[in-house]
Amino acid sequence: MQSALLEAMAEHQVSVGRETFPLPPLFLVMATQNPIEQEGTYPLPEAQLDRFLLHVRVDYPDEAAETAILHLVRREADLLTQAAPPPLRLTPEEIFAARREILQIFMAEPVERYLVGLVMATREARGELGTWLEYGSSPRGTSALDQCARALAWLSAGTT
């Protein structure tokens, strides 16, 4: 499973046995890891973890959130039995057009220096922050921050 995940991210394809399946130009890779049951799976090495934009730890919900989740799941199950699936709201072409617009957004040099400074700080502070930060960010981190900043600017411009 892990090799397929990394192959999809790097080569935009997935191989099963001797057959290779190209992925469409627009695809998303999401991975989850259950810390309780790891039989047959292995944690990704640090050099591969930095290929992901986000690492989110999700703890157990409190009692009120658990009750809200229960009600939400019931409502969703009820809706699924009654309604047809909603239509797609964006086409792949529209998403690629948005990506092109995002790449054209100007980023001022002071903002670039700030992004690079954030990444450099993760490398310099490794020993000082103990268990908070075992490894500094790779250059992929700088690129991810750049993409996120531009996407946020694009989204904010569209909502004003």
Does residue 95 share a domain with residue 45? no
Whether residue 82 is contained in a domain is answered as no
pLDDT band at residue 159 using 50, 70 and 90 as cut-offs:
low
Whether residue 57 is contained in a domain is answered as no
Does residue 148 share a domain with residue 94? yes
Whether residue 83 is contained in a domain is answered as no
Task: Select the more confidently predicted residue: 86 or 153.
Answer: 153
Task: Select the more confidently predicted residue: 53 or 154.
Answer: 154
Residue span of the structural domain in which 127 resides: 88-158
Number of residues in the chain: 160
Q: Which helix (H) or strand (E) holds 22?
A: strand 19-22
Q: Please give the C-alpha separations between residue 146 and each of 17, 26, 116, 127, 152, in angstroms, as whole numbers.
A: 37, 20, 9, 26, 10
3-state secondary structure of 81: helix
Whether residue 140 is contained in a domain is answered as yes
Whether residue 63 is contained in a domain is answered as no
Report how far residue 90's alpha carbon sits from residue 28's, in angstroms, rounded to the nearest whole number. Answer: 15
Whether residue 65 is contained in a domain is answered as no
pLDDT band at residue 72 using 50, 70 and 90 as cut-offs:
very high
Report how far residue 55's alpha carbon sits from residue 53's, in angstroms, rounded to the nearest whole number. Answer: 7
What pTM does this model have? 0.58
